[in-house]
Structure 1
Amino acid sequence: MKVLILGGTQFLGRHFAEIALNQGYRITLFNRGQTNNSLYPDAEKLVGDRVKGDLSALKGRKWDIVIDTAGYFSNLPHLVRATAELLKDSVRTYVFISTISVYPEFQANGDETLPLYPINQELPQQMNAQAYGTLKAMAESVVQEVYGEQGLIIRPGLIVGPYDNTGRFTYWIRRISQGGEVLAPESPELPVQYIDARDLVQWIYRLTLAHKSGVYNAVGPDYCLKLGQFLATCQQVTGSNATFIWVPREILESYKIEHWQELPLWLPPNLQNTFPCLSNSKALANGLNFRSLTQTIHDIWQWDLVEQLEYASGLLRDKEIAILQSMGKINTI
């Protein structure tokens, strides 16, 4: 199979590239040639810039599928339209990686038929969660318009794994591995959904080989995972002596803790039992499967021990200590 990857040098794109190469696919990476350019010397590399409209390297070529992971661009629908229309007669399947954030309101066990953000509006001027969801919904509409039954739209939730430069999942693994009293939000019963990037990518390639199209929520696992179980598994995998201090919502809010970004997996009250509770029934019926939580945590932990990236997400240690001390849970750490 011949695969065109738009990007291919960061997080999810790297997994698309590596798994394709391991499967013996012929891959072409199209990007600006400025990030991790030494990766994948056996891959064909085309240089261009979607933001500047430079797509000339893609003209007159043929691939079986194209993978488009475009994310935080204020003109995302225009970028997607430019590549989608240019490649209309050059690829069999256009795979667009969208997001569950296209849903303005979440429901427990909600499926792909949940209403989306309106697409008939001006492009958002400020990038926030609503704008991101709106732009992705607009881009989905473009793919469906241009490709119809040849379009494959994937809506992941939290994507995790090696190469993750957001740190939202990795924060917990790293923090728990350090041991001591660990601040945990509210209750061990809070629901958690995530998907390992490698499981996501392998499944998408299987879908394309089967000539599948349509829209799929891509969330996991295939059971009801709770925060307490996730944190305990991090403790088990890393061999940590961590103990968890469950801090009530009102205390976290009094310290103005930012949901999701500052304290990953913790959400506002209206989202805590809906956002991480979407249905993945359609994806499961079409072959999505998952490696174990233990394996995912282990691989991220080992990768993080080597890379030691600095993340924008995660609770600062000094702030964690201050909150726990205010509760009388610790004297010093």
Structure 2
Amino acid sequence: MRLLLLGGTGFVGRVVAEEALARGWEVTALNRGKQPAPGGVRVLTGDRTAPDGLAALGTGEWDAVVDTWSWAPAAVRDSARLLNGRVGHYAYVSSRSVYDYPLVAGAGEAAPVVASSPDLTGEVPYAEAKRGAELALEAEFGGRALLARAGLIIGPHEDIGRLPWWLNRIAEGGPVLAPGPRDLALQYIDVRDLAAWLLDASAARLGGPYNLVGPSGHATMGELLEACVRATGSDAELRWTDPERILAAGVEPWTELPIWLAPGELYDFLHNGSVERALGAGLRCRPVAETVESTWAWLRSIGGSAPQRSDRVRVGLDREREAALLRG
């Protein structure tokens, strides 16, 4: 397979490149060249926000494209128009954020989505940006466009810092604020499982929307944090705390306490979606312990500090605020 990656050096794109190379695929990546691509990738330089940013793609043919773009959808529109007729399949890493909020628990791909346009430029809200890109691909590629609506993505190379924050905090040891309930079901996907499914789906020419995240309850909050304790070898003591007490203290779920959400509308939106379609199309999810152990090994290999995307806020709870909550 000849794969074109639009991106290929960041979190998801990098792991897709590594997985494709491991399969013996020929991989070309277009990006700005600000980070090195995995060895073996043929790199083309281009900035998709510039007037001539796609010039390097003026010639060439590929079996499949994987696109991880997250900003103004006009960039996806332009690449789709340029590549139509020269690629056999176009997979786009979209997001479950495209669904209209609030979302009924267990909702699938037929749920209502936000309004958007493929022609939007400049600063565009995340949900509208992803949905606009979907519309652009549907217009150009129809059934040859795969819309992979990813949920929470964790694993090695994470550049938002959710699982890395928990690992580093637990590695420090001592009492750790553990947001309850302990058996709270989580919905996430290991980036390597996401990459493997994307490439399988590209080879099979799957089209249309898929909620691309593991089943809700594949792991619980307790299983995730206990796996962090084991992986780091820490003496950390997880102190499980009721959601009501955490919220009353003004702690922000998802950002100050990454991954975690208190039960309610937002929890249902992000941790309780249907993934039957993706599972039926071959999605397989590894155990949470494997995700945690691999992420910890990667963190140690780079000195413990995870890279940080400039367009996302830093996550994690201030130690003084945590201590105050633990004192009760």
What is the TM-score when the length of structure 1 is the normalising length? 0.89
Give the 5 Å matches for 1:1-333: 1-36=1-36, 39-53=37-51, 54-71=53-70, 73=71, 76-104=72-100, 105-119=102-116, 123=120, 131-221=125-215, 223-267=217-261, 269-307=264-302, 308-309=304-305, 312-325=314-327, 327=328
Note the C-alpha offset of 1:14: 0.7
Q: Which amino acid aligns with 2:320?
A: D
Note the C-alpha offset of 1:226: 1.9
Tell me the equivalent position of 1:330.
none
Name the CA distance, whole Å, in 1 between partners of 2:136 and 2:45. 24
Note the C-alpha offset of 1:161: 1.1
Name the CA distance, whole Å, in 1 between partners of 2:203 and 2:66. 13
Name the CA distance, whole Å, in 2 between partners of 1:303 and 1:316. 24
Secondary structure, counterpart of 2:9 in structure 1: coil
Note the C-alpha offset of 1:229: 2.1
Asked whether the 8 Å contact 1:190–1:273 carries over to 2, the reply is no
How many residue pairs get aligned? The number is 318
Which has the larger displacement, 240-249 or 184-193? Answer: 240-249
Note the C-alpha offset of 1:65: 0.7
Q: Which amino acid aligns with 2:16?
A: F
Name the CA distance, whole Å, in 2 between partners of 1:317 and 1:15. 32
Asked whether the 8 Å contact 2:221–2:260 carries over to 1, the reply is no
Name the CA distance, whole Å, in 2 between partners of 1:290 and 1:203. 10
Secondary structure, counterpart of 2:265 in structure 1: coil
Tell me the equivalent position of 2:311.
none
Q: Which amino acid aligns with 2:48?
A: R
| Deviation sequence 1:113-165 (CA, Å, 0-9, x none) | 111011259959866xxx21122111111111110011011011111111111
Asked whether the 8 Å contact 1:191–1:273 carries over to 2, the reply is no
Name the CA distance, whole Å, in 1 between partners of 2:78 and 2:119. 18
| Deviation sequence 1:194-234 (CA, Å, 0-9, x none) | 10111111111111111211110011147543212222222
Name the CA distance, whole Å, in 2 between partners of 1:45 and 1:124. 26
Q: Which amino acid aligns with 1:114?
A: A
Secondary structure, counterpart of 1:109 in structure 2: coil
Which has the larger displacement, 1-10 or 180-189? Answer: 180-189
Note the C-alpha offset of 1:29: 0.9
Where in structure 1 are there 5+ consecutive unaligned residues?
328-333
Aligned CA distance change for structure 1 residues 227 and 41 (closer, same or farther; 3 Å): closer
Secondary structure, counterpart of 2:133 in structure 1: helix
Q: Which amino acid aligns with 2:230?
A: Q
Name the CA distance, whole Å, in 1 between partners of 2:117 and 2:135. 10
Percent identity between the two aligned chains: 37
Note the C-alpha offset of 1:10: 1.0
Name the CA distance, whole Å, in 2 between partners of 1:27 and 1:141. 26
Where in structure 2 are there 5+ consecutive unaligned residues?
309-313
What is the Cα-based RMSD across aligned positions, in Å?
Answer: 2.1
Name the CA distance, whole Å, in 1 between partners of 2:22 and 2:194. 15
Q: Which amino acid aligns with 1:150?
A: R
Name the CA distance, whole Å, in 2 between partners of 1:190 and 1:31. 39
Q: Which amino acid aligns with 1:10?
A: G
Name the CA distance, whole Å, in 2 between partners of 1:123 and 1:207. 28
Name the CA distance, whole Å, in 2 between partners of 1:81 and 1:200. 23
Name the CA distance, whole Å, in 1 between partners of 2:50 and 2:106. 40
Aligned CA distance change for structure 1 residues 124 and 93 (closer, same or farther; 3 Å): closer
Name the CA distance, whole Å, in 1 between partners of 2:173 and 2:104. 36
Name the CA distance, whole Å, in 2 between partners of 1:277 and 1:161. 20
Asked whether the 8 Å contact 2:14–2:38 carries over to 1, the reply is no
Off by >4 Å, runs of 4+ in structure 1: 120-127, 221-224
Asked whether the 8 Å contact 1:108–1:275 carries over to 2, the reply is no
Secondary structure, counterpart of 1:313 in structure 2: coil
Note the C-alpha offset of 1:101: 0.6
